[in-house]
Structures are given as structure tokens and as C-alpha cells.
Amino acid sequence: MLKLPGLIDPHVHLREPGQTHKEDWDSGTSAALAGGVTVLLAMPNTRPPIFDAATLNLALAAAKAKARCDYAQFLGAGPGNAEWGRHKALPLRAAGLKMYLDSTFGELRLDDMTLWQQHFQTWPRDLPIVAHSESRSMAAVILMAAIYDRPVHIAHISLKEEVLLIKAAKEKGIKVTCEVCPHHLFLTKDDIPPSPLHPSPNGRGDGGEGRLSVRPRLATKEDVDVLWANLDVIDCFATDHAPHTLAEKDGENPPPGFPGVETMLPLLFTAVSDGRLTIDQIIEKSVINPRKIFSLPKQPETWVEVDENARYELHAADLHSRCGWTPFEGWQVRGRVRRVTLRGREAFKDGRALVKPGYGRNVRE
């Protein structure tokens, strides 16, 4: 039995407030514990979005009542809240500032780069900024980090051009970090099955629609290969756990996103078993680096026991997310979380969360 530090997932959507039929702070944090995750950072594109004191209080009240693992909550950058200097205490209460700069699920998006500049100028320099920014938008936000000489963390990179540009920017000394999601390491656009509901001109879904719709889209095999070849450029693993129900995913207007917080650890351990990754890299990218990038406290008496030799199939029926499916259904994997100890308490064991809703702590308090 291998003993790991509790993992940190810096990119999780919990859907509360507003869409608890997909997930809530209870089901989502139970799923996190099942995945060996003891701290998660929750994204702000809920309904309503989390973008000021009132909405932050709403999310944190739900979290306080229901969370089973530790957490922090992001604030979202909007067109109307770019003057953080007026709200000095607020940024300190958040996981960081999340900027949505490309199309995704929810209402938060900033199209005008002058608004990006305002957020970069007013958000405190020592607190995290995370950008959903693909391709040229990513390059643009890295330019802002260079101009304003402050760090920026790029969410869920997926493309060869992204990882190679981040590499060059890091070599130049620009303060940029990044994360990659398991689905962008283990799936390609060729995995997207033909969609009878949403046929595309080339005869199959193109990532824009259907069950395998996700943002950023699944990429080419070349992109995936270049990500693996440049793991040293990638600071963190993050799941972008984005639960939607199967009815929604298979319906007329499928929302983008996959669940993932429970399946990351076995996928990564499978890569270890295949010789593509080391345990040290998992600890580096799921514990050490995210703790540093997001200024997270160490969790005392916290660890995850993993049966690294366990072989089994992933099935949605065994998972804790409310959404009820996984894009990795039926995959043969290695590495099973047997037990999670969180701040001295047995929090998860053999498939069941043992701590009560509300045991989780806000790491920003």
C-alpha cells in the first residue's frame, strides 16, 4: 500500500449554487475524496456566478455546510468587477481570480482585452490569477503577466502550440504556470464517436457537440504526444471536473465538460505502470506545485493510501459524482484509493466517504 500526500485539484466545478442536479458541495467533495483529493479549488461559473462578496458568501455557506474535503472558492472576473482595489478584503477570501477569456460553460466571459488589463492592474499581485485562455488568448494573457510583472496560471492546456509557447515564456523568465487535465492526456479528438444526433460535415462529432464535448476541445494525437513529451513544462495536473448529467450531454444542446475528480488518480497510476510517468511527478504536479502556486497550507495528518497494483475497470456506477457517467467508462486502470486520512480523521475508505458534510475546511480562512 502506497502512502501519498493528499492531492490538490486546482480546477473543479461543483455546480452549487444553482445546478445541484449536476453536483453539489457534498457529492463533489465525496467524489474528490474517492479520487484521493483532499483540497479542491472550486470554479466560479455557477448560477449565479461567484463574482462579489454576496455571491462568494453564497458559495462559501453551501461549502461550509456540505464540504467533506478542504477547499477554496474562486472569484470570477467580470466586466463590472474589475476594480478590486475597492474590495481589499475580498480577494484574500478567494482561491484566486478566474478569468474566462474563451468560450465555455456559463455566463462569465471577458471579450475586451482592456478589461483583462484592468483586472491585471487591480487584482493583488501576490494572489493567484487563473485564465481559461486557449491558443492566442493564452499568449495574450501571458503578455499581460509579462507587462504587469505578476504570475498567471493557465488552466487546462491542450495544444502543442500552447505548451511550446509556455516553455519559451518560462525560459524568458515570465511568471507563467500551467495545468493539464487527464482527458487532454488520455483522449484525442479521434476518440469522439460518430454522433447520430449531431452529425458533423466529416461524418463524426468534432468535439463541439455530444458526450465528448469539452472546452478546450479534445486535441490531435500530435498535441497529446507533445504534452507528454513536455511534462516538465507542465506544473500541475487538474481535472476540470465539470459534471453534467447524461441526459444533458446526450440532449439537443450538450454542455461542454467531463467529470474527472475521481478518475485522475487511477489514470495517472496507469501511466506510471506503463512507464510514462513517475510517482514523484504525480506528487510534484498534484501536491507540491499547486500548493506553491496557490499558496495553500499543508494539511497536517493527511494522506492517501493507494493500492498501486490494483487492476480494475472504471465504471460510472462506482463513482460518487452526481452526474452518473464518465468518459472513461470501461477503461482498464491501475491504482485504487483505499483510504484517505484528512486532518487525522479517516475521511474515506473502500468506496465510502466517512466524514460528514461540513468536515471540510475553507483553506483561506
The residues of the shown chain that bind a second copy, judged by CB under 8 A, are 112-114, 117, 135-137, 139-140, 142-144, 146-147, 149, 160-161, 164-165, 168-169, 171-172, 174
Identity of the residue, 167 or 204, whose beta carbon is nearer to a second copy in the bound complex: 167
In one letter, which amino acid is 165? L
Q: Which residue has the cell 483522449?
A: 187
Identity of the residue, 94 or 145, whose beta carbon is nearer to a second copy in the bound complex: 145
Identity of the residue, 117 or 295, whose beta carbon is nearer to a second copy in the bound complex: 117
**What is the closest distance, in whole angstroms, from the C-beta atom of residue 137 to a second copy in the complex?**
5
Identity of the residue, 122 or 295, whose beta carbon is nearer to a second copy in the bound complex: 122
Return the half-sphere exposure (C-beta side, CA atoms, 13 A cut-off) of residue 316: 14
Identity of the residue, 81 or 133, whose beta carbon is nearer to a second copy in the bound complex: 133
Identity of the residue, 15 or 184, whose beta carbon is nearer to a second copy in the bound complex: 184
Cα separations in angstroms, 144 against 140, 150, 175, 303: 7, 8, 10, 37
**What is the closest distance, in whole angstroms, from the C-beta atom of residue 144 to a second copy in the complex?**
8
What is the rounded CA–CA span in Å between residue 71 and residue 53?
A: 17
**What is the closest distance, in whole angstroms, from the C-beta atom of residue 320 to a second copy in the complex?**
38
Q: Which residues, including other chains, have CB under 8 Å from residue 305's CB and lie 6 or more apart? A: 1, 2, 3, 4, 337, 338, 339, 340, 341
| ∠ Cα 327 107 137 (to 5°) | 75
Q: Residue 365 corresponds to which cell in the numbers above?
A: 480562512
**What is the closest distance, in whole angstroms, from the C-beta atom of residue 209 to a second copy in the complex?**
22
Q: How far is CA 15 from the centre of its chain?
A: 13
Q: Residue 308 corresponds to which cell in the numbers above?
A: 498501486
**What is the closest distance, in whole angstroms, from the C-beta atom of residue 242 to a second copy in the complex?**
24
Contact 321, 259 (CB under 8 A): yes
Does residue 48 have a cis peptide bond before it, meaning omega lies within 30 degrees of 0?
A: yes
**What is the closest distance, in whole angstroms, from the C-beta atom of residue 315 to a second copy in the complex?**
39
